[in-house]
Amino acid sequence: MATKNMITFFFAILFLWSFVTPSAARNPPAFAEKVMHFFFPNITVALRNDCERDVFYSCKFKDSEGHLTALQPNGTKSWTFKEILFPLRWCYVSTGKNVYGVFWTYSVRLKCTYCNFSLRKDGVYLYIKDKREWEKRPLYLDPLS
């Protein structure tokens, strides 16, 4: 039901957009960009290795689809993409001998436009800006079964 309401709201905004004020009509690219950014914001996902050894990861993003990559201690890696139609982005990570699995790096439920993850010996943590604290995220061992 919420999805249907959201779609209706989206089309209502597009309809209202057709009655743009004259000042916005003179500069349509800037106005259109603001509307697009409101509905489809840029999302940044950042990983930081807070372990004392290399952490191996593989994320589902354009520049690193399916490649296992080492992230050195204190190293960072980030990606930026547009949120269009509720994307799901994930990473496989191994931070220790018995700490490995898949975690969601972006979903609408995370409610972040800058999703900052800390990779630690005991797991993966997401920084919650509103609470100003790190929250441990679950690791899923076999997402395909």
Edge-first strand listing for the sheet containing 89-96: 69-71, 55-59, 89-96, 99-106
Q: What is the pLDDT of residue 49?
A: 96
Q: What is the mean pLDDT of each run of 10 residues along the chain (145 residues)?
A: 70 64 57 72 88 89 70 93 70 82 71 87 89 90 52
β partners of residue 133: 128
pLDDT score of 87: 64
Closest CA to 61 of 40, 82, 39: 82
pTM of full prediction above 0.85 = no
The CATH architecture to which 42-137 belongs is Sandwich (2.60)
The residue written with tokens 């779609």 in the block is 7
d(CA 1, CA 5): 6
